[in-house]
Structure 1
Amino acid sequence: MIAGKSVARLAASVALGVAALTTLMLDVPQAHADNRRLNDSVAINVYTIQHQAGCTTRIRPNAKLRLAAQWQTEDVLNNRNLDGDIGSDGTTVSDRARNAGYDGVVAETVAINPALAISGIEILNQWYYRPDYFAIMSDCGNIEIGVWSENSLDRTVVVAVYGKGDSSA
């Protein structure tokens, strides 16, 4: 009978421990990768492509374009049926940029990799050899850029939104 009570106490202790651990795990903030270096490298690579195309301007970061890129990145990451520029709600890059407060002509490039990560080389391979995306990247009129990337265990998405100048700024 004493052994039975010991097993019951042990089971109760284990159950209490599991409950406490579960509560602690739920209270721990989720870690998100800091993709700033990747995002910055995309902007630098676009700058390089523009200068190889003969551009003399310097493309500069824009927080409004970055926000528009973030919205599309999160949408594509979380909606597996999306594979590019149109959002799950039917929005276009122009809609998202306008909603972010950017008043100007915009374009967008989207890279999707079915893995936890993506390298700058993989991004360029997806964009450089697509004539429409190469045209966007090498367009000297695109003087502003916003880049955002997110990853899940089996999917990484990178979006760059390019602007020709925000007339509201």
Structure 2
Amino acid sequence: MTSQCAVRRCAVSAALLSLMIPATAVPNAQADNKRLNESVFVNIYTAQKQNGCPTEPKLDGRLVEAARLHTLDVLNNPNLNGDIGSDGSTPQDRASRQGFVGKVSETVAINPALAISGIEILGQWWWDPPRRAIMQDCANTAIGVWSENSLARSVVVAVYGQPGL
């Protein structure tokens, strides 16, 4: 009996040890939201096509960077919930700082949870007439999308540009 107990204790100890090793040996990893960002872009593309837009929108790195910076600002400042940054900046200010010349608008989606889905984003943008109008505006041919997550909230920002206006 004693040898069976010892074997069980060893098995339990080994199982517990195997659970502890990954927790200490694996560094924290940040979520890769590339697929979410791409799906948001595709939804914007689809919204414009449904509106009869003749020109396909394209990703613009300057607007992606403007979206990234505002996403991080909103994520890290729980009092923010829209277009105005913690420094008082507007979407136009942020895009101009990245070198984008033209008219800019923005949509922001916030979910008070670790994750956000494309359905939740569309639910916030599609059913809100001003945001839907931004998504479907055929003049918005340059797009930037970024998303970030924390335990407290998930934030998605899309910046829409009309180059050269």
Counterpart residue number, 2:79: 81
Give the Å deviation of 1:30.
Answer: 4.3
For 1:73-130, what per-residue CA distance to the aligned partner results, in whole angstroms no more than 9, with x for missing partners? 0000000000000000000000000111111111000000001001101100000011
2:66 corresponds to which letter in structure 1?
A
Give the Å deviation of 1:159.
Answer: 0.1
- Is residue 49 from structure 1 mapped to residue 34 from structure 2 by the alignment? no
How many percent of aligned residue pairs carry the same amino acid?
62
Find the partner of 1:121 among 119, 134, 138.
Answer: 119
Give the Å deviation of 1:56.
Answer: 1.4
- Is residue 133 from structure 1 mapped to residue 131 from structure 2 by the alignment? yes
Distance of aligned partners of 1:62 and 1:29 in 2 relative to their CA distance in 1, 3 Å threshold: farther
Distance of aligned partners of 1:165 and 1:150 in 2 relative to their CA distance in 1, 3 Å threshold: same
Q: Distance in 1 between matches of 2:27 and 2:78?
A: 25
**Paired residues for 1:140-159 under 5 Å:** 140-159=138-157
Q: Distance in 1 between matches of 2:164 and 2:65?
A: 14
Counterpart residue number, 2:62: 64
Q: Distance in 1 between matches of 2:32 and 2:102?
A: 29
Q: Distance in 2 between matches of 1:30 and 1:86?
A: 31
Q: Distance in 1 between matches of 2:163 and 2:50?
A: 21
Distance of aligned partners of 1:154 and 1:140 in 2 relative to their CA distance in 1, 3 Å threshold: same
Counterpart residue number, 1:11: none
Q: Unaligned 5+ residue runs, structure 2?
A: 1-23
Q: Distance in 2 between matches of 1:73 and 1:29?
A: 24
Counterpart residue number, 1:34: 32
Give the Å deviation of 1:32.
Answer: 1.0
What CA RMSD, in Å, does the superposition of the two structures yield over aligned residues?
1.8
Q: Distance in 2 between matches of 1:137 and 1:67?
A: 19
Give the Å deviation of 1:29.
Answer: 5.9
Structure 2 length as normaliser, TM-score? Answer: 0.82
- Is residue 161 from structure 1 mapped to residue 159 from structure 2 by the alignment? yes
1:164 alignment partner, SS class: strand
Counterpart residue number, 2:103: 105
Q: Distance in 2 between matches of 1:29 and 1:142?
A: 40
Q: Distance in 1 between matches of 2:135 and 2:80?
A: 22
Q: Unaligned 5+ residue runs, structure 1?
A: 1-24
Count how many residue pairs are aligned between Structure 1 and Structure 2. Answer: 143
1:105 alignment partner, SS class: strand
